Amino acid sequence: MKQVIKSIYLKPGKERAIINRHPWLFSGAVLKKDANINAGDEVLIHDHQGHELALGHWCGNDGLVCRIMTFDVNLGLNEDFFNDRFNKARALRHALLSQQKTNGYRLIHGEGDGLSGLVCDIFAETASIQLSNPGLKKVLSIFCDFLVRHVNIKNIHLTDAASGESSWLLGHNNNTPFLENSLSFVADIDNGQKTGHFLDQRDNRQSVKEWAQHRDVLDSFCYSGGFSVYALAGGARTVTSVDIAEKAISSCQQNVRANGFDAGHHAVVADCFSYLRQIKKDDFDLIILDPPAFAKSSQAVERAARGYKDINLLAMKAIRSGGVLFTFSCSQHIDDDLFQKIIFAAAKDAGREVKIVKKLTQGVDHPVSVYCPQSHYLKGLALYVE
C-alpha cells in the first residue's frame, strides 16, 4: 500500500521534465494540489490527466517546490528505500576512491546520488551533513544509523541549509584531521565554509601538484590552502596563498605547516581583485583562480561573467610566458560553453596566446546525474599561456 497521502497535479505539458527524470519541480508547473501540504510532506505527482508520475518531498510554496525521490510510484519512501540509496552511494565511493590515501570524500552528492537536497562529506570518522530538503529530516535517524554502522562514523554534524542552524547530532569533533591523496588537512566543521573543506577540487589539486615543480605559484581565493599544499608537495619554488577571509588564511597556514612545507609559503589576507591588479608581470608562472560562485541566480549571470573575465584577464596579463593558469567557476548558472567564451574574451583582451591543455571538473565522488545537468557545477580549465 502506498504511504503517500497528498497529491499534486501538473499543468498540461509540465510533465515533460518529470518524464525525463529531472528531480526538481518548480511552482509554475503546479496546476492544483491537496489542501494543507506542508514542507517535508511526501507527495505523489500526477500529470493533469491524473497519471501518477513520481514521488517526492514538498519543500514549500515558492520556487523549487518539490524534490523528487523516485519515478517508480510503486516504491515506498521507507527505510529500505533510503538504505538502498545510501548503500549505492557508498559502493560508488568504495569502487572509485583509494581510501588508504584519501579518507576525506563526499559520500552523498544530492541529485548525483538520487537524494536531492542531501550532501554528506566524510572527514575520517566525522560526517558533515548539509540538508536542503525538509522531507529528509524524517530520514536523518536512518542515515545516522547507516553512517555509524557502515561508514564507521563517530561524529555527525548537521547544517540545515534553509535556517542556517547547525548542531552535532553525534559526538563532537570540530577540527577534524583527514587525508587527501596522503596529504594532511583539517576541516573546520563548526566555523568553516560549506561542510568545512572543498573536497570537489581533489583531482584538480593533483594536476596542480604534477605541474608545480620549480614554479612560483599564486593560489588566489585559496580558502584553507588545498591547492597551496599540493603545489608545495609538487616542488613549487614559492607559493603565495590569498583569501579575503582571515580565518581561511589561518587554516591555510595550519594545513601548510601540518605537511611540513612552511618554507617558501606566503599567506596574504586580501581582496583577490585588488591583489591581482597589483601583481607585477612575471611574478608567477602558475596561477589558480578558484573564486566563490559569482552567479547565485540566473539574473546574476551577466555581472558574474564580468567578474570572471576581470580576474582571468588580470591573471593572463601577468603570468610568465610558459605559465599555467588553472581557472574555475562553481556557478551552476554559468555553463561550460559560457565559461569558455569568458576565457576566450579574457585571452583576446590580454593579447596572449592561450591554449586549453586540460578540462577540469568536480571529483568522482561528486557524480553528475545525466538527468540533472545542474549536478555538474564545477567547471575548470588548465590553460597554457605562451
Ligand X SMILES: C[S@@+](CC[C@H](N)C(=O)[O-])C[C@H]1O[C@@H](n2cnc3c(N)ncnc32)[C@H](O)[C@@H]1O
Q: Measured from the CB atom, is 21 or 194 closer to ligand X?
A: 194
Task: Name which of 42, 108, 45 is nearest 71 in CA terms.
Answer: 45
365 binds ligand X (CB under 6 A): no
Query: Which of these segments, 92-100, 121-129, 285-293, 362-370, binds ligand X (CB under 6 A)?
Result: 285-293
Question: CA–CA separation, 270 vs 245, rounded Å?
Answer: 8
Query: Which of these segments, 91-99, 140-148, 184-192, 193-201, binds ligand X (CB under 6 A)?
Result: 193-201
Tell which one of 13, 63, 260, 292 touches ligand X (CB under 6 A): 292
Side-chain-side CA neighbours of residue 316 (13 Å): 27
Tell which one of 56, 135, 291, 380 touches ligand X (CB under 6 A): 291
CB of 320 to ligand X, least distance (A): 21
The grid coordinates listed for 167 are 548542531
The grid coordinates listed for 355 are 591554449
243 binds ligand X (CB under 6 A): yes
Tell which one of 198, 211, 284, 326 touches ligand X (CB under 6 A): 198
The grid coordinates listed for 60 are 514549500
Say which of 120, 252, 330, 372 is annotated catalytic. Answer: 330
Query: CA distances (Å), 274 to each of 34, 279, 305, in order?
Result: 54, 9, 18
Question: CA–CA separation, 171 vs 155, rounded Å?
Answer: 4
Q: Going residue by residue from 202 to 241, which x/- string records binding to ligand X, judged by CB under 6 A?
A: -------------------xxxx-xx--------------
CB of 383 to ligand X, least distance (A): 17
The grid coordinates listed for 259 are 605537511
The grid coordinates listed for 250 are 589561518
248 binds ligand X (CB under 6 A): yes
Q: Measured from the CB atom, is 59 or 232 closer to ligand X?
A: 232
Q: Measured from the CB atom, is 71 or 221 closer to ligand X?
A: 221
Query: Which of these segments, 258-266, 267-275, 300-308, 375-383, binds ligand X (CB under 6 A)?
Result: 267-275
Tell which one of 245, 258, 300, 368 touches ligand X (CB under 6 A): 245
Task: Name which of 55, 48, 57, 89 is nearest 71 in CA terms.
Answer: 55
User: Alpha helix locations (H) across 259-350?
Assistant: 272-278, 301-318, 336-350
Task: Name which of 361, 353, 369 is nearest 328 in CA terms.
Answer: 361
Task: Name which of 279, 272, 277 is nearest 238 in CA terms.
Answer: 279
Q: Going residue by residue from 158 to 177, which x/- string records binding to ligand X, judged by CB under 6 A?
A: --------------------
373 binds ligand X (CB under 6 A): no
Active-site residue flag, 252 = no
Specify whether the CB–CB gap between 188 and 126 falls below 8 A: no
Q: Going residue by residue from 105 to 134, which x/- string records binding to ligand X, judged by CB under 6 A?
A: ------------------------------
The grid coordinates listed for 192 are 568553516
User: Identity (one letter) of the amino acid at 38?
Assistant: N
244 binds ligand X (CB under 6 A): yes
Binding residues for ligand X, rule CB under 6 A, total 20
Residues in the chain: 386
219: region left, alpha or beta (phi > 0 left; psi from -120 to 50 alpha) = beta
Q: In the chain, what are the helix, strand and coil shares in percent, each to the nearest 5?
A: 35, 30, 40
CB of 277 to ligand X, least distance (A): 12
Binding site for ligand X (CB under 6 A): 193, 198, 201, 221-224, 226-227, 243-245, 248, 271-273, 290-292, 330
The catalytic residues are 330
